[in-house]
Amino acid sequence: MKIKKSREMNNWLDDFKLNHPFVIAGPCSAETKEQVLNTAHQLKELGINIYRAGVWKPRTRPNLFEGVGSKSLEWLKQVKKETGMLIAVEVANKQHVYEALKSDIDILWIGARTSANPFSVQEIADSLKGIDIPILVKNPINPDLELWIGAIERIQQSGITRIAAIHRGFSSYGTTKFRNIPQWQIPIELKRRIPQLPIICDPSHIGGTRELITTISQKAMDLDMDGLMIEAHCNPLEAWSDVNQQITPKHLKKILKELVRRKIKPDNVSLSDLEDLRHRIDKHDKELLTILADRMSCVIEIGNYKKKNQMTILQTNRWNEILQSRFIKGRSLDLSDEFVKSIFKSIHQESINKQELILNS
Ligand code: PEP
Ligand code: MN
């Protein structure tokens, strides 16, 4: 892991955390001067200090609105002058970086489609050499943690010290409740791998609808994420992009007010009850592992039997029986089918791996 454990990287968001939690808000796209300024003034009144707006928009299909481009940088400059807010925009190539820096933009972010392309990320990283600006790196559209970390490393190797990740969910085929599936285990693993890297959640692009923003934001706070990036628009129903997910500044105010901020360790709370429960969990986990090892020794014996009798490893009927009967038992113990399935799939896969070694030895 090449990511620096530098002090600068740690909690640089605190410098900007004029209010709690760290929030970046603003429209998906800068559309008109009036929309940009009107939205900004309303957000400033709520105490939002960082304004986002897409200048160049990466769209899935051609012939859609692709952002008004560089001319909106002038409007953003005016927002900065009139409100004192910091301005964040998305950059996807070195020309964007050049234009954004020329217009005194304060924070740059790399979008999900760009993070997925190492050539583009490297081009951006190279164009940032010697420049001290915060960079936010969205997760790539595909659920690939290594690619996300790789993009962060490329930016870091260009000398940038203030880096944060943005979790905006991952694309999938077919319709789901989310526009981009959160796959929370990926940002959780990112946090475990690089604990000093701040992570901001983007509930707007995860949810894709206004209704989901509150629950996703609360979940992000409960997973100890460091901030939120939320799309807000003075007239969301008329937005030129992402019309279903943008909210009014007033709606944003309500959401932020209702967010419950919990702490890893609140002051004045004794952790002894929690520690007791954790001891119990440690004990159960040891038992689970012992039982799994015991189960695995049966699997190995079965492997030897299959080898001797020239039997296939996979016995589909048996595997089906196992799953169905474990579901029934699981339900009686209040364990969901989804959970039981994921555990047994992984046990089954490991059993196959072990038996493959035996059969091919
Ligand atoms: C955006 O923030 O408006 C955007 C295009 O996001 P993403 O790169 O996450 O799709
Ligand atoms: Mn958007």
Ligand nearest to the CA of 242: 2
CATH of domain 272-359: 1.20.59.10
Q: Which atom of ligand 1 is least distant from the CA of 58?
A: 5
Instruction: Report pLDDT for 334.
Output: 98
Instruction: Report pLDDT for 111.
Output: 98
262 has a pLDDT exceeding 90: no
194 has a pLDDT exceeding 70: yes
Q: What's the CA-to-centroid distance between 253 and ligand 2, angstroms?
A: 19
pLDDT 10s digits, 202-239: 999 999 999 999 999 999 999 999 999 999 999 999 99
10 has a pLDDT exceeding 80: no
Q: What is the pTM of this model?
A: 0.84
Q: Whose CA is nearest to atom 2 of ligand 1?
A: 28
**CA separation (Å) from 128 to 24, 91, 97, 153, 155?**
22, 11, 8, 13, 8
The architecture that CATH gives domain 7-258 is: Alpha-Beta Barrel (3.20)
pLDDT 10s digits, 133-182: 999 999 999 999 999 999 999 999 999 999 999 999 999 998 899 999 99
Q: Whose CA is nearest to atom 4 of ligand 1?
A: 111
Point out the least confidently predicted range of 17-31, 33-47, 106-120, 139-153: 17-31
CA nearest neighbour of 260 among 223, 209, 210: 223
Ligand nearest to the CA of 245: 2
pLDDT 10s digits, 36-88: 999 999 999 999 999 999 999 988 899 999 999 999 999 999 999 999 999 99
Instruction: Report pLDDT for 317.
Output: 93
Dihedral (Cα; 219, 224, 226, 227), 10-degree rounding: 10
Q: What's the CA-to-centroid distance between 27 and ligand 2, angstroms?
A: 8
- 8 vs 325: which has the higher pLDDT: 325
28 has a pLDDT exceeding 70: yes
CA nearest neighbour of 115 among 188, 164, 55: 164
206 contact partners, CB below 8 Å, separation of at least 6:
167, 168, 169, 178, 179, 180, 181, 182, 212, 216
pLDDT class of 270 with cuts at 50, 70, 90? confident
Q: Which atom of ligand 1 is least distant from the CA of 54?
A: 3
What is the best residue among 57, 90, 120, 181 to mutate for testing ligand 1's pocket, by most ligand atoms within 8 Å of CB?
A: 90
The pocket of ion ligand 2, defined by CB under 5 A, consists of: 28, 242
Q: What's the CA-to-centroid distance between 28 and ligand 1, angstroms?
A: 8
Q: What's the CA-to-centroid distance between 26 and ligand 2, angstroms?
A: 10
Residue 108 tokens, joined: 């740059």
3 has a pLDDT exceeding 50: no
8 has a pLDDT exceeding 50: no
Instruction: Report pLDDT for 6.
Output: 43
CA nearest neighbour of 157 among 192, 138, 130, 191: 130
Residues with CB under 6 A from ligand 1: 28, 54, 58, 111-112, 138, 168, 205
Instruction: Report pLDDT for 9.
Output: 52
Q: What's the CA-to-centroid distance between 158 and ligand 1, angstroms?
A: 23
Domain boundaries, the chain: 7-258, 272-359
Instruction: Report pLDDT for 19.
Output: 58
Q: What's the CA-to-centroid distance between 163 and ligand 1, angstroms?
A: 17
Instruction: Report pLDDT for 60.
Output: 87
The secondary structure of residue 32, as a DSSP letter, is -
Ligand nearest to the CA of 141: 1
